[in-house]
Structure 1
Amino acid sequence: MLLHDFTLSGNCYKVRLFLALLDQPVELREVDLRGGEQKRPEFLALNPRGQVPVLVDQDQPIYDSQAILTYLAKRYAAASWLPQDNLTQARVAAWLSFAANEAARGPGQARLHRLFRMPGNLEGAQQRAVQVLELLDAHLTHHAWLAESAAPTIADLAVYPYVALAGDGGVDLAPYAHITAWFARIRALPGYIGMPGL
């Protein structure tokens, strides 16, 4: 198993984290994003979108971090990571969408602008990040895990990185006690690994 990776990417990190929690061996290959490696023909043959992460398992490339989490859960993980009942699967799907949209466009975008000096509206991204954090904190007031299950699911791993890295985007996490407690639950999982910024 090979993961085309970028150390500072939250999307890559969620895949590395899940692999670590599963104790699943993987070879990491750092992609030179600043040098444009992800736009070269060899990489585009793996992922036409020109984005990391890309997981290659049994000679098959899988891209999009949410899709990779789903693949790993179905292939290598205990059923609790992606429960089979319809309601929990719908909740997981909703949070995977939240990770790709609200979390990426709020705290994730603020981090890109502030930490990586990407052009754009930092203040707007920070405002969206606060809305994301308020919504998430309210949900976690009543639930230990995002999909309202008894154990963590891939929904938690999908949303966690860019929320936990919100400080890199100049967004204060201190007011969100329920998010902080959720962070602690995730970090207590056997096999947990961090990344720069966490």
Structure 2
Amino acid sequence: MIRLHEYELSGSCYKVRLLLNMLSVPYEKVSVDFVNQQRESPAYLELNPFGDLPILEDGSLRLHNAQAILTYVARKYDVFGTWYPSSADGASRIHQWLATGSVDLTNLSPARLAKVIHYPFNLGDLHALSHRVLRILDAHLEDRKWLELGRPTIADIACFPHVALANEAGISLSNFGYVSEWVERFKTIPGFTPMPGITSHS
């Protein structure tokens, strides 16, 4: 069985839980104490020298980085190939948004840490960067329901948690109407599960 080393309040870990649940893949959770820096312990660094979350173990395979894990899980366990296409064109479109979910949108994560746990980050700069990418995302979603290919893919999963948790980062989605609609639409996908800070479909 898959083992997922994760922290419940992490958006990156939540991405992986979402896909596993949506594909009905059983897995074992291994909780990591993020607040007390367990990921910097020798035992954790032996699993993942980079010290980041999550880690997925599937048999002899061990992966870190949520985007890499999403790609692996979709390729191995999605028998219909809907979440991650095999075509070069489709896969490339998906990977653009995997990068967005791992870089541009992650400014929302330290902003959330600054607001919720009072980490010493520059909230003004993080909000400015976050508003920029949310405007881009909103414009992209103006004439489509999903980020690419006309259906939910791991592109949507990679971006959803950071956006859906924007309120905890001190950013309202009220000025991003298409993004707000996409967030609620995402919650209707079969297998969707909430997390602290993200409720079920209203």
When normalised by structure 1's length, the TM-score is: 0.95
2:150 is matched with 150
Q: Is the 8 A contact 2:106 2:162 kept in 1?
A: yes
Match status 1:74 vs 2:75: yes
Aligned partners of 2:144 and 2:150 also within 8 Å: no
Give the Cα–Cα distance (whole angstroms) in 2 for the partners of residues 109 and 143 of structure 1. 29
Q: What is the aligned partner in structure 1 of residue 176 from structure 2? A: 176
Alignment match, 1:165: 165
Shift of 1:89: 1.1
Superposition deviation, residue 119 in structure 1? 1.0
| Matched AA of 1:92 | I
Question: What is residue 103 of structure 1 aligned with on the other side?
Answer: 105
Give the conservation status (yes or no) of the 8 Å contact 1:47–1:63: yes
**Equivalent position amino acid for 1:81 in 2:** W
Q: Distance between the aligned counterparts of 2:133 and 2:114, measured in 1?
A: 17
Q: Which runs of 5+ in 1 are unaligned?
A: none
Equivalent pairs counted in the alignment come to 196
Q: Which ranges in structure 2 are unaligned for 5 or more consecutive residues?
A: none
Distance (whole Å) between structure 2 residues aligned to residue 14 and residue 142 of structure 1: 25
C-alpha separation between the residues in 2 aligned to 1:88 and 1:95?
Answer: 11
Show the counterpart of 1:63.
64
The one-letter code sitting in structure 2 at the alignment partner of 1:13 is Y
Q: CA deviation at 1:52?
A: 1.1
Deviation (angstroms), 1:132 = 1.3
Q: 1:104-138, CA deviations, whole angstroms, 9 ceiling, x for partnerless residues?
A: 02x22211211121111001101111111111010
Task: Tell whether the 8 Å contact from 1:108 to 1:163 is kept in structure 2 after alignment.
Answer: no
- Once residues 11 and 20 of structure 2 are traced to their aligned partners in structure 1, the CA distance between those partners, rounded to angstroms, is 14
Per-residue CA deviation, residues 69-104 of structure 1 (Å, 9 max, x unaligned), is 000011001311111222221111110111111100
- The two structures, once aligned, show a CA RMSD in angstroms of 1.0
SS in 2 for 1:173: coil
The equivalent residue for 1:92 is 94
Q: Which residue of 2 aligns with 1:41?
A: 42
User: What per-residue deviation string (whole Å, max 9, x for no partner) do you get for residues 28-84 of structure 1?
Assistant: 111012222111222112111111100111132111000000000110013111112
Q: Which amino acid aligns with 1:103?
A: L
TM-score (norm 2): 0.94
